[in-house]
Structure 1
Amino acid sequence: MSDTPPDLPADKPTNPRRRAVLAAGAAVGVGAVAYGFWRTSSSTGQAATQGAAGVQGAQGGTLVVGSYQEPTVYDPNHQYSWETYRIDRHIYESLVAEDLSKPASAGPPPLIPALAQSWEVSDDATTFTFHLRPGVKFHDGTDFDAHAVEFNVRRFSDPGFEFYDVKANAFMKAVYGDLKSFEVLNDQTVRYTFKHPFRDFLRMLPQGNYVSGIFSPQALKQYGQDGLAEHATGTGPFRLVQRVHGEKTELARNDQYWGGRAPLERIVFRPITDDATRLAALQAGEIDILTRTPPDAVDTLTGGGYAVPESAQAGLLYLGWNFRNRFAQQLPVRQAIIQAIDREGLAKTLFKGHALAAYSILNPGNAAFDANQRDYAYDPEAARKRLADAGFKDGDIRFTIATDEANQPSIEWIQRDLAKVGIHVDILSQEWLTYTSNLPKLAPEVALTSMEWGFVTPLWARIVYQGYVVTRGGGDLLGPELKAAIDTASHEVDEAKAITAWKHANGLLQQQAATVPLVSFTRYFAVSPKVKGFNVPAQNWYDLARVSLST
C-alpha cells in the first residue's frame, strides 16, 4: 500500500463491469463470508440491521459494562482499541455492517447493509458503488447523504480539502492508502475506486481499527478536528451523553434511529482495569457485562448463574518485534525465543484452559487459518542449541519486553521461560494509554511488545507485516520474497487463490519468526443473568442494540 496520499480527484472509470451484490436482506453463506461480496442476491425488503426492530424483552433500563481498558477517543478516524470500538460502534455506523447476532460457532459474521442499502463491486475488485439508505439523520438532526460520505472520505484522503486532517490520514492509510478516486454519483450514490484489486474492502468497512464510521460533517465543523471525539455525532442506535475520563462513558437511546428503537434506554461503560475489582463489581450487581473475564473466575461465575460464553474470537495475544533491537535482527535468536516459550503451558496454567495456544498470527477465526500451519514447536533444548550455534552463551542476550498492565502476567511467564535458555528479560509494564502512546517510539533495548489484536479477514497478515515488520525496521531484513507474497495475496481477486496465497505468505512469516503468537482467548465476556439477548459472535465486539434487561 502506498505511503503517499491518494490522487484525488481522478477520472471516472470507463464502463466498469459490475456485479450486483448483497441487496437488503441477503443471506451470505459461511464459506463466502471471508470476502462475502461475490455472492449475488436479488432479494428485497427490510434489511437485516444492527438495530433492534423485532427484539423481544423489557423496554428501558440502563445496562452497565465493565471494560478492562480506558477507551482512547471517540473519533472514528483517530481511535484504536477494541474497548473503544465496542462503545463507539453504537454511535457511528459504516456503509456496511456485520451481523453480530450470529453465534461464534457460525464463523465470521456475514456482511449486511447498514448506511448503504446495497452495493456493486467490479469484477476486478477495484470499483465499489454504494446505494445509500434514504432518510437517515445524524444525532444532531442533519442529513446523512452522499455529500456527508464525501466529507468523511476527503478528511483523511484529500490534502487539498479544507478539513483534511494529517492524523486521520495516518490512521486510515491501511485501508485507503491505495484509493485512486472517490465520486458522488448523486445524492444517494457514491463510488470508491482503488489502484489495485481490494477484495477485502467491504470486510474492512465495519472493523474496529481504521474505522470507517460516518460522522456528522456539521459536528466536525462546529467542534474541530480534536473536538469531534468529545462530541461524537453519528447515526447509530445510541448517542453520546457524556464521557468522564477514567470514570465512565454514557450513551442514550436514539429514538429516531432508522433501524428501530433499541430496548435499552441507556448504556454506561465503566473502565475498571483491575481484574479483582471488575469481578467484584459484577458479583455485586454494579455492572452487567464484564470484559476479559479473569480465567480463575470462570467456574465460580458459571456456578453462580452467570453466563461466560465460549467462543473462538477473531483476535489473539501475541508479541511483535522491534527490529531495531540488535537481538531481534538475528533470525536464530527470534527462532530460539519462539522455541523457548511453552504456549500450551501458558494456555492451560495461567489461563486455566480458557485459551488456546497460538502457533500462527492468523487467528482461529480467520478465513485463511490452517491448524496445520505452525511455527517453531516448544523445545527449550533445541532453543539452547540454536543460540549456542549462533555464538551466544548464557547471559549474552538481554532485552526488554514492553507490555500493558493487563498482559503483564503473560510476559512474566515468558520471562521465566526465556531465563531457562539463558536469556535475560526485563519487563516494562504501563497502563494502556501510556503504553500505546509509546509504541511508535520504542527504545533500542526493547525487543518485543505485547498486543491483543486480530481480524477475520486474511488481510490481517498484511496489517501485521506493515505494522509490526516494515514500520519497525524489518522490511529489508525479512527480504523481498515476503513482501512480494503479501502483495500478491492482497491483490488476488479469486477467493480460493487468495486463501492459498495468504497461506503461502503466512508460511514465510512463520519461517522468518516475524511475530510471536501466544494464545487465543475462549472465555472473554461474563454476563449477568438479567441480561437478555447478548451474543458473542466470532468477532472482537458485540451489538448491544439488541440487548434488554429483565425486570
Structure 2
Amino acid sequence: MNYFIKRALAPTILAAALTATPALAQKSDDTLRVALAEEILNLDYNYTTKREYIILAQMTDTTLFDLDPTTQEFKPAVATGYEYADDTTIDVSLRDDVKFHDGSTLSAEDVAYTYNWIIREDSESNAGGTVGRWLDKAEVTGPNTVRFHLKSVYPLVLRDMAQRIMLRKVGSYDAGGTIDRDAMAQHLIGTGPYKVTSFEPGQELVLERFEDFFGEKPAIQKIVVRNIPDVGTQQAEMMSGGIDWMFKVPLDLAESLGATPLATHLSGPDLRIAFIVLDAAGYTDADGPLTNVKVRQAINHALNKAEMAKYLIGGSAEAIHTACHPAQFGCDQSVQDYPYDPEAAKALLAEAGFADGFPLELWAYRDKPVAEAVSADLTAVGIDVNLRYVKLESLNQARAAQDIPAYIGTWGSGGTADTAAIARIHFADDTDRNLSGDAALATEVLAAEQTSDQNERAKIYTNALTTIADQAYWAPLFTYSANYLVSPDLEFPLDPDGLPRLQNSSWK
C-alpha cells in the first residue's frame, strides 16, 4: 500500500513566515528556552523513567561513567577507572574534586550510600529493579574507592552505572532515620553541569550553569524548561520566539515550519523501534491462526514497512527485520528477512489453511496512522482486522491478562545500544510481553547476560534473533526518527543514540 500524502505548506505557517521576525532575546541574554509536552513533576531520575526525565538528568546529574553515544565506549566521569578483582567484584576509583550543587564535595561514602539505598526494598526506587538484579552491596574501601559486590556475572554493569544511577549525598533519602523518597523530587542537589534555581512542578524549571562542575562547562548560561502540552501552542511559541527548542515534533509540522525563517528542522536517529507482537503461544486461542508459523510469516510479508518508515515517520526512519535496533550490540542483521510481498503472504495463508483469511484483533496505543497502515496492509491480503486503538494503560492491562492476540508495540531501550536492553524485557520467561511461549528462547536470552565475554554474547544473540526471525514471533516494522524544531540561532548537535543532550547546545 502507498502511504504517501503530499502535504502543502500550512497557510498559517507560511503567512507567519512572511510577517514575523524571530525574537533574539534568548541569545542576547544567554538563555535557552525549551518546551516539553510531558508534565515534569519529579526532578529525581532515581525515581522516574520517562525520556523527558533522562534529558533533565543529563543536565542536573552525573554518573560514575559516561557512555560515548558515537563509539559506545565507556569513559571516566565521577569515576576515574575500574578494575575487576574477580568476576563478581569491581573496584571503582573516584575523582576528588566533584562538587554537589550545595558546595559540598562528593565522597566515596556518598557513592556507596546511593547504590545501597537504591537496592533497599524500602527505597522503592524505579532504578531498583535494574540494579537489584546484579548488585549485592557497595562498600567503601578507601578515601576515593568503592568496591561493588555483584550477585553474579553481569556484563552490563558499566552501562547501568553510566545511565541509571544518579549520585546523592549520604542521608538524602533517610535523614534522621525518616524515609523521604521525594526528598530530591523538587529540591534536587545534584552534581551535573546545571543546577536547579527554581522549579514549579508541571509548569517551569529554571537551570543555571554550575560553575564548580568538574567537567567541561556548558556553553549556555541558563536553560528554562517550560511544560507546554499542546503542540499547537508550542508551534506558536516557536514562531514568536518564545521558545528555542521543541522535540517529538510531528513530521508535517517539522517540515512546514522548518521551511520558514522562523525555525530549523533537525532530524536525527532514535533507538526506538516499532514492531508487532504475535500470540504464537496461543494464550488467546490455543488453536488459533497465530500459532501457525506460516500465518506469522505471511503477516511479515504483508507489511510495506519501507513506505511506513518513509512517509509516516520520515527523517532517518528505516524498515527493520530484526527484534532489535540495527545500531545495538548483538543485533545481527543476517537473520531471516521477509520482504514486502503480498502475493507471498496470500500463498502462505493458503498453505496454512486460511486462504479466505481470518479475523484478527490488533491492538495499538500510539501512532494511529501507522496502526491504520498496518491494518490496511493485512486487510489487503485477506485478514479481517479489528483495530483496537486504546490508551497504553488499557493495553498493558489486557496484555497482563493474556487477552491480546496481536499488538503494535514500540521500545526505546532507554537509549542503550545493546540488544540486552530489548531482549530480556520482551523474551524472558517472567515478562507478559513475551507471547512466544518459547522456553528455550527465554533461557538463551538470559544466558547472554550471564557472561562478560562479548564475543560469546554476540553469538548467543545471533542464535536468539535467528529463532525469533525464523519463527516470526514478531513482525518488526521500522526505526523511529527524532524530529526537532530549533531556533535558527541555536547549534544543537544530534547524537546517534537519539538522546537529546541540551547541555551540549551553543549559540551560533
TM-score scaled to structure 2, two decimals? 0.80
Report the equivalent of 2:363. 401
Q: Match for 1:269: what amino acid?
A: V
Report the equivalent of 1:411. 371
Deviation of 1:438 after TM superposition, in Å, equals 5.6
Deviation of 1:443 after TM superposition, in Å, equals 6.9
- Name the CA distance, whole Å, in 2 between partners of 1:138 and 1:440: 43
- Name the CA distance, whole Å, in 2 between partners of 1:518 and 1:380: 16
**Identical aligned residues as a percent:** 24
Aligned partner (choices 447, 458, 465) of residue 499 of structure 1: 458
- Name the CA distance, whole Å, in 2 between partners of 1:303 and 1:476: 45
Aligned partner (choices 154, 165, 169) of residue 212 of structure 1: 165
What SS class does the counterpart of residue 268 from structure 1 fall into?
strand
Q: How does 1:144-163 map to 2 (within 5 A)?
A: 144-159=106-121
- Name the CA distance, whole Å, in 1 between partners of 2:193 and 2:89: 30
Q: Is the 8 A contact 2:33 2:225 kept in 1?
A: yes
Q: Is the 8 A contact 2:424 2:446 kept in 1?
A: no
Report the equivalent of 1:66. 35
Q: For the structure 1 residues 389 and 281, does the alpha-carbon distance in structure 2 shift closer, same or farther, using more than 3 Å as the test?
A: farther
What does the per-residue CA deviation read over 1:41-73, in whole Å, with 9 as the maximum and x for residues that have no partner? xxxxxxxxxxxxxxxxx8962212233534574
Q: Match for 1:412: what amino acid?
A: E
Q: Is the 8 A contact 2:33 2:223 kept in 1?
A: yes
What does the per-residue CA deviation read over 1:5-33, in whole Å, with 9 as the maximum and x for residues that have no partner? xxxxxxxxxxxxxxxxxxxxxxxxxxxxx
Q: Is the 8 A contact 1:97 1:114 kept in 2?
A: yes
Report the equivalent of 2:385. 424
Report the equivalent of 1:76. 45
Aligned partner (choices 472, 484, 493) of residue 525 of structure 1: 484
Q: For the structure 1 residues 347 and 179, does the alpha-carbon distance in structure 2 shift closer, same or farther, using more than 3 Å as the test?
A: same
Q: Is the 8 A contact 2:135 2:151 kept in 1?
A: yes
Deviation of 1:171 after TM superposition, in Å, equals 4.2
- Name the CA distance, whole Å, in 2 between partners of 1:440 and 1:69: 25
Q: Is the 8 A contact 2:97 2:105 kept in 1?
A: yes
Report the equivalent of 2:271. 314
Deviation of 1:183 after TM superposition, in Å, equals 2.0
- Name the CA distance, whole Å, in 1 between partners of 2:38 and 2:356: 37
* Residue 294 (str. 1) matches residue 263 (str. 2): no
Aligned partner (choices 179, 193, 208) of residue 237 of structure 1: 193
Aligned partner (choices 406, 431, 434) of residue 471 of structure 1: 431
- Name the CA distance, whole Å, in 2 between partners of 1:487 and 1:173: 16
Q: CA-atom RMSD, angstroms?
A: 3.4
Q: For the structure 1 residues 229 and 518, does the alpha-carbon distance in structure 2 shift closer, same or farther, using more than 3 Å as the test?
A: farther
Deviation of 1:414 after TM superposition, in Å, equals 1.7
Report the equivalent of 1:539. 497
Unaligned runs of 5+ in 2: 1-26
Deviation of 1:499 after TM superposition, in Å, equals 2.2
Q: Match for 1:402: what amino acid?
A: A
Q: Is the 8 A contact 1:399 1:447 kept in 2?
A: yes
Q: For the structure 1 residues 436 and 67, does the alpha-carbon distance in structure 2 shift closer, same or farther, using more than 3 Å as the test?
A: farther
Q: Match for 1:285: what amino acid?
A: G
Q: For the structure 1 residues 228 and 126, does the alpha-carbon distance in structure 2 shift closer, same or farther, using more than 3 Å as the test?
A: same
Report the equivalent of 1:337. 299
Q: For the structure 1 residues 353 and 381, does the alpha-carbon distance in structure 2 shift closer, same or farther, using more than 3 Å as the test?
A: farther
Deviation of 1:301 after TM superposition, in Å, equals 4.9
Q: Is the 8 A contact 2:109 2:170 kept in 1?
A: no
- Name the CA distance, whole Å, in 1 between partners of 2:203 and 2:284: 38
Report the equivalent of 2:443. 484
Q: Match for 2:377: what amino acid?
A: D
- Name the CA distance, whole Å, in 1 between partners of 2:411 and 2:34: 20
- Name the CA distance, whole Å, in 2 between partners of 1:383 and 1:362: 23
Q: How does 1:178-257 map to 2 (within 5 A)?
A: 178-207=134-163, 211-221=164-174, 224-257=180-213
What SS class does the counterpart of residue 419 from structure 1 fall into?
helix
Aligned partner (choices 89, 93, 118) of residue 62 of structure 2: 93
What SS class does the counterpart of residue 162 from structure 2 fall into?
coil
- Name the CA distance, whole Å, in 2 between partners of 1:522 and 1:538: 11
Deviation of 1:185 after TM superposition, in Å, equals 0.9
Q: For the structure 1 residues 476 and 370, does the alpha-carbon distance in structure 2 shift closer, same or farther, using more than 3 Å as the test?
A: closer
Q: For the structure 1 residues 317 and 503, does the alpha-carbon distance in structure 2 shift closer, same or farther, using more than 3 Å as the test?
A: same
Q: For the structure 1 residues 518 and 273, does the alpha-carbon distance in structure 2 shift closer, same or farther, using more than 3 Å as the test?
A: farther
TM-score scaled to structure 1, two decimals? 0.74
Q: Is the 8 A contact 2:264 2:486 kept in 1?
A: yes
Deviation of 1:536 after TM superposition, in Å, equals 1.1
Q: How does 1:435-474 map to 2 (within 5 A)?
A: 441=400, 444-445=403-404, 447-454=406-413, 455-466=416-427, 470-472=430-432, 474=434
Q: For the structure 1 residues 380 and 250, does the alpha-carbon distance in structure 2 shift closer, same or farther, using more than 3 Å as the test?
A: farther
What does the per-residue CA deviation read over 1:162-218, in whole Å, with 9 as the maximum and x for residues that have no partner? xx32x32x64333440334432212321122324332322123233xxx21213344
Deviation of 1:369 after TM superposition, in Å, equals 3.4
Q: For the structure 1 residues 65 and 215, does the alpha-carbon distance in structure 2 shift closer, same or farther, using more than 3 Å as the test?
A: same
What does the per-residue CA deviation read over 1:310-357, in whole Å, with 9 as the maximum and x for residues that have no partner? 543333233456775446972535444333322112012223464111
What does the per-residue CA deviation read over 1:123-179, in whole Å, with 9 as the maximum and x for residues that have no partner? x653322111213232244442222222222223244xxxx32x32x6433344033
Q: Is the 8 A contact 2:37 2:228 kept in 1?
A: yes
| Pairs aligned (count) | 471
- Name the CA distance, whole Å, in 2 between partners of 1:425 and 1:233: 50
Q: Is the 8 A contact 2:363 2:388 kept in 1?
A: yes
Deviation of 1:506 after TM superposition, in Å, equals 1.8
- Name the CA distance, whole Å, in 2 between partners of 1:135 and 1:353: 42
Q: For the structure 1 residues 147 and 379, does the alpha-carbon distance in structure 2 shift closer, same or farther, using more than 3 Å as the test?
A: same
What SS class does the counterpart of residue 437 from structure 2 fall into?
helix
Q: Match for 1:144: what amino acid?
A: L
Q: For the structure 1 residues 244 and 437, does the alpha-carbon distance in structure 2 shift closer, same or farther, using more than 3 Å as the test?
A: farther
Q: Is the 8 A contact 1:461 1:506 kept in 2?
A: no
Deviation of 1:388 after TM superposition, in Å, equals 4.9
Report the equivalent of 1:283. 239
Q: For the structure 1 residues 227 and 364, does the alpha-carbon distance in structure 2 shift closer, same or farther, using more than 3 Å as the test?
A: same
What SS class does the counterpart of residue 231 from structure 1 fall into?
coil
